[in-house]
């Protein structure tokens, strides 16, 4: 099978790149082994949240200039970040996602542990704050669902109280979830959202919320509604008498699954081929170019393309792996930026920046990969498989994924 472009990995970076190429009329295949880290997503997209000292950044586009040279944004070009980020936001909108946020001014999302963190874009119905000083409401009701343990409601309440918001915690019992409650493994956000989707159930939730709201200015629910789109949350909002917002839960993430589905379905709609559950297990490199790749599900089929894009993620997605002696890239054994001393991989102080977080595939300034010191001309890397930044300490994971994906797609299109 021959394509113009083959993308290995179907998370945020792979699909963003695939959409950009398919929109330009290219024949694109995304081959992906499993679910992506979007399943941990908070409902927000970070561009650049913290500087090297851990200080929250107000204007992420301006702050890019201060990053070290190895950071993927520096490779994409400081002067290009604003337009690449705007292209990324446009893709999310084209996929049908409604977002709030501004590339020139971070706002704050509320994590499932009740911490305020700077971010770039947030799904419209999620609770956000304009600044670290807190949300716009002085009195909130935070309502959890009986038997749902993935929403640490007391942490969230405490986090909001620290910003001088008065918070009352309530629990709703939803009869439609009675059978699910018999098995704790069923009481997960993704399962619950499938049940909380009928008009009657939404009406029942709205009635209960209206009866407990008292003098609160707004009501907060865990993100357990709307796994496919924002329709059910819009229906519920229309039935509730006060402003209603959600906060992301511990994984699985309802907003993350929604984003993944939206990207995939848009990619397929514009002609992309999405091969789910298929793992790229090797390939042939000849004269500095990838000739073809091999996959576990199509062992007799050599898949080939003019260009290949590695979007396999970091350690969590097995885009990077380690053994007792080295950190390595498992598909083609590409060169990686990583210490060869195992003792240097981690800092023993758990809250310090962990060196392994910056490990990844080595690339040049246009994100071409290399093996044994030689550039592979038609194999690019994008997203969290790249080296050079710490997504946790810098709050830039989703931004790096989308910005590098679009930068590489544009580079391929201009070749
Ligand atoms: C726990 C967690 C929480 C996060 N929370 C946030 C957040 O709140 N805000 C934020 O901005 N960012 C967050 N991030 C970061 C963000 O999710 C990532 O930066 C971004 O989504 C990474 O996308 P990716 O496409 O590069 O990689 P991934 O999402 O890791 O996707 C890689 C894909 O490649 C596939 N794959 C791997 N190997 C192969 C192979 N050999 N063949 C075929 N397919 C393969 C995997 O199955 C996977 O589907 C979080 C990350 C994690 C891990």
Query: How close are the terminal C-alpha atoms of the chain, in Å?
Result: 22
Predicted confidence at residue 10, as pLDDT, reads 98
> At residue 179, does pLDDT exceed 90?
no
Alpha helices (H) along 35-112: 60-63, 72-76, 81-94
Mean pLDDT, the chain, as a whole number? 96
Distance separating alpha carbons of residues 140 and 157, to the nearest angstrom:
9
Residue nearest ligand 1's atom 27 by CA: 313
Relative to beta strand 28-32, strand 273-276 is: parallel
Predicted confidence at residue 404, as pLDDT, reads 98
Most ligand 1 atoms within 8 A of CB, residue of 7, 12, 19, 37 to mutate:
37
Residue nearest ligand 1's atom 19 by CA: 397
Distance 208 CA to ligand 1 centre (A): 37
Most ligand 1 atoms within 8 A of CB, residue of 57, 317, 408 to mutate:
317
Distance separating alpha carbons of residues 110 and 167, to the nearest angstrom:
14
Most ligand 1 atoms within 8 A of CB, residue of 8, 36, 303, 382 to mutate:
36
Question: What digits encode the pLDDT tens for the residues 228-248?
Answer: 999 999 999 999 999 999 999
CA dihedral 9, 347, 55, 69 (to 10 degrees): -60
3-state secondary structure of 359: coil
pTM assigned to the model: 0.97
Distance 319 CA to ligand 1 centre (A): 9
Task: Kindly indicate the confidence band of residue 183, based on its pLDDT and cuts at 50, 70 and 90.
Answer: confident
Alpha helices (H) along 312-396: 391-394
Centre a 10 Å sphere on the Cβ of residue 415 and count the other Cβ atoms it contains. 8
Atom of ligand 1 nearest to the CA of 9: 34
Question: What digits encode the pLDDT tens for the residues 396-411?
Answer: 999 999 999 999 999 9
Predicted confidence at residue 118, as pLDDT, reads 98
Atom of ligand 1 nearest to the CA of 396: 11
Distance 14 CA to ligand 1 centre (A): 10
Distance separating alpha carbons of residues 160 and 157, to the nearest angstrom:
5
Residue nearest ligand 1's atom 6 by CA: 41
The tokens for 262 are 């939206």
Predicted confidence at residue 285, as pLDDT, reads 98
Task: Kindly indicate the confidence band of residue 150, based on its pLDDT and cuts at 50, 70 and 90.
Answer: very high
% pLDDT > 70, the chain:
100
**In sequence order, what are the residues at sequence separation of 6 or more whose Cβ sits closer than 8 angstroms to the Cβ of residue 144?**
151, 153, 169, 170, 171, 172, 222
Measuring CA to CA, which residue among 52, 74, 86, 78 is closest to residue 387?
Answer: 74
Atom of ligand 1 nearest to the CA of 251: 1
Distance 352 CA to ligand 1 centre (A): 22
Q: Verify cis geometry, omega within 30 degrees of 0, for the bond prior to 252.
A: yes
Which protein residues touch ligand 1 with a CB less than 6 Å away?
8-14, 31-38, 40-42, 44-46, 279-280, 311-313, 316-319, 331, 383-384, 391, 397-398, 401
Residue nearest ligand 1's atom 48 by CA: 36
Predicted confidence at residue 149, as pLDDT, reads 93
Predicted confidence at residue 182, as pLDDT, reads 87
> At residue 272, does pLDDT exceed 90?
yes
- Is-contact 103 60, C-beta < 8 A? yes
Centre a 10 Å sphere on the Cβ of residue 298 and count the other Cβ atoms it contains. 13
Distance separating alpha carbons of residues 367 and 407, to the nearest angstrom:
9
H/E segment holding residue 334: none
Task: Kindly indicate the confidence band of residue 104, based on its pLDDT and cuts at 50, 70 and 90.
Answer: very high
Atom of ligand 1 nearest to the CA of 40: 3
H/E segment holding residue 109: strand 107-110
**Sign of the alpha-carbon torsion through 371, 377, 383, 389:** positive
CA dihedral 241, 247, 253, 254 (to 10 degrees): 10
Most ligand 1 atoms within 8 A of CB, residue of 9, 72, 256 to mutate:
9
CATH number, span 127-247 = 3.40.50
Atom of ligand 1 nearest to the CA of 400: 19
Question: What digits encode the pLDDT tens for the residues 69-96?
Answer: 999 999 999 999 999 999 999 999 999 9
Most ligand 1 atoms within 8 A of CB, residue of 39, 312, 388, 407 to mutate:
312
The tokens for 388 are 């050079």
Distance separating alpha carbons of residues 73 and 92, to the nearest angstrom:
20
Atom of ligand 1 nearest to the CA of 330: 41
Distance separating alpha carbons of residues 102 and 11, to the nearest angstrom:
23
- Domain boundaries along the sequence of the chain: 28-97+257-413, 127-247
Distance 398 CA to ligand 1 centre (A): 9
Q: What is the mean pLDDT of residues 319-340?
A: 97
Bridge partners (DSSP) listed for residue 370:
375
The tokens for 181 are 């409650």
CATH number, span 28-97+257-413 = 3.50.50.60
Bridge partners (DSSP) listed for residue 284:
292
Q: What is the mean pLDDT of residues 137-148?
A: 96
Predicted confidence at residue 185, as pLDDT, reads 84
Distance separating alpha carbons of residues 321 and 327, to the nearest angstrom:
6
> At residue 102, does pLDDT exceed 90?
yes
């Amino acid at each position: 099978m021959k394509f113009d472009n083959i993308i290995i990995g179907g998370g945020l970076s792979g699909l963003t790149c695939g959409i950009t190429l398919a929109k330009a009329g290219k024949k694109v295949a995304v081959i992906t082994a499993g679910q992506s880290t979007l399943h941990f997503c908070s409902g927000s997209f970070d561009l650049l949240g913290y500087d090297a000292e851990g200080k929250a950044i107000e204007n992420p586009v301006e702050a890019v200039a201060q990053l070290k040279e190895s950071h993927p944004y520096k490779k994409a070009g400081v002067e290009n970040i604003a337009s690449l980020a705007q292209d990324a936001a446009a893709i999310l909108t084209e996929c049908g996602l409604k977002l709030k946020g501004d590339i020139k001014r971070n706002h704050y999302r509320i994590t499932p542990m009740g911490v305020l963190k700077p971010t770039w874009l947030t799904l419209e119905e999620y609770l956000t704050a304009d600044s670290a000083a807190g949300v716009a409401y002085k009195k909130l009701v935070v309502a959890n669902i009986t038997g749902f343990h993935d929403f640490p409601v007391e942490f969230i309440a405490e986090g909001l109280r620290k910003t001088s918001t008065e918070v009352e915690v309530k629990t709703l019992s939803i009869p439609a979830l009675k059978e699910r409650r018999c098995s704790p493994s069923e009481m997960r956000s993704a399962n619950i959202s499938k049940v909380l989707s009928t008009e009657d159930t939404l009406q029942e939730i709205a009635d209960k919320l209206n009866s407990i709201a008292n003098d609160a200015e707004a009501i907060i629910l865990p993100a357990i509604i709307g796994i496919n789109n924002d329709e059910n949350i819009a229906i519920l909002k229309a039935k509730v008498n006060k402003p209603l917002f959600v906060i992301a839960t511990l994984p699985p993430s309802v907003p993350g699954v929604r984003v993944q589905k939206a990207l995939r379905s848009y990619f397929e709609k514009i002609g992309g081929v999405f091969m789910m559950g298929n793992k790229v297990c090797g390939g042939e490199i000849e004269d500095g170019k990838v000739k073809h790749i091999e996959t576990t599900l199509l062992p007799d089929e050599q898949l080939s393309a003019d260009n290949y894009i590695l979007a396999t993620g970091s350690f969590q997605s097995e885009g990077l792996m380690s053994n007792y002696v080295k950190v390595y890239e498992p598909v083609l054994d590409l060169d990686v930026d990583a210490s060869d001393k195992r003792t240097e991989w981690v800092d023993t102080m758990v809250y310090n920046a962990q060196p392994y977080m910056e490990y990844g595939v080595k690339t040049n300034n246009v994100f071409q990969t290399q093996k044994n010191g030689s550039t592979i001309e038609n194999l690019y890397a994008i997203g969290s498989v790249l080296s050079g930044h710490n997504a946790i300490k810098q709050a830039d994971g989703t931004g790096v994924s989308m910005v590098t994906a679009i930068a590489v797609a544009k580079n391929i299109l201009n070749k």
